[in-house]
């Protein structure tokens, strides 16, 4: 039966089912609900309007040592290059070890991208940070499910960053917006992740900071 399902179902859907099986029951139900809503077009990644004062953009991943710190640094660099209005930008991890520095591969990739991370120290995603956030960008579907399960009221402000990348790939009925964790990969894998993150944050900054541009991917 499993072999038959793998033959019939689109590969991205098989991936989602495999991911769901790795989760405890409460996280699994949240994950499946979110994915069903996406496949039915009931949940979409659309940028909110930035408030006139003190907006806060939070980038979230698992450990806050590779993807989310690179995203925050690249966003700040991109926004500064466009001389955009002031926006606070931070990163956090759902399972971060507070005070941990960025992964050495991320340090290398970020320097090469012009957004150094030497001063970065990991922090946990907390309730005050979630409550203050204008938008929370997560890196993958597991991040999304974990965040929404912990903070259900933030579901409407939680977006998949990869949905805004200019090379999003394809998915089962929707674009595959996951930016996978390269923690088990090589330096080149981290570099590739950095390039995809840069594509996404540049698109977000452009849409937010350019007058008359529509919200959403």
Report, as residue numbers or ranges, the catalytic residues: 61, 67, 181
Backbone angle region of 121, left / alpha / beta, with phi > 0 → left and psi within -120 to 50 → alpha: beta
Q: Which two tokens stand for residue 191?
A: 């570099």
> Measured at the alpha carbon of residue 16, what is the angle toward residues 42 and 69, in degrees to the nearest 5?
85
Q: Give how far Cα 136 sits from Cα of 10, 47, 65, 144, Å.
A: 29, 10, 17, 10
* Strand-pair category, 135-138 with 56-61: parallel
> Measured at the alpha carbon of residue 5, what is the angle toward residues 141 and 29, in degrees to the nearest 5?
35
Residue 136: strand pairing partners = 58, 158
């Amino acid at each position: 039966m499993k072999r038959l399902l793998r033959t019939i179902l689109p590969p991205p859907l098989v991936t989602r089912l495999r991911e769901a099986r790795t989760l405890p029951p409460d996280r699994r139900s949240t994950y499946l609900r979110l994915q069903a809503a996406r496949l039915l077009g009931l949940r979409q990644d659309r940028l909110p309007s930035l408030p006139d004062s003190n907006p806060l953009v939070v980038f979230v991943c698992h450990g806050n040592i590779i993807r989310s710190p690179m995203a925050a640094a690249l966003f700040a660099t991109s926004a500064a290059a466009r001389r955009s209005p002031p926006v606070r930008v931070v990163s956090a991890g759902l399972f971060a070890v507070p005070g941990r520095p960025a992964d050495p591969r991320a340090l290398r990739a970020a320097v090469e991208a012009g957004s150094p991370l030497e001063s970065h120290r990991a922090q946990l995603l907390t309730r005050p940070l979630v409550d203050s956030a204008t938008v929370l960008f997560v890196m993958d579907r597991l991040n999304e499910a974990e965040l929404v399960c912990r903070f259900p009221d933030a579901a409407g402000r939680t977006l998949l960053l990869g949905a805004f990348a200019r090379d999003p790939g394809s998915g089962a009925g929707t674009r595959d917006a996951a930016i996978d964790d390269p923690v088990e990969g090589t330096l080149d894998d981290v570099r590739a992740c950095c390039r995809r993150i840069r594509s996404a944050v540049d698109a977000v900054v452009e849409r937010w900071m350019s007058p008359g541009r529509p919200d959403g991917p």
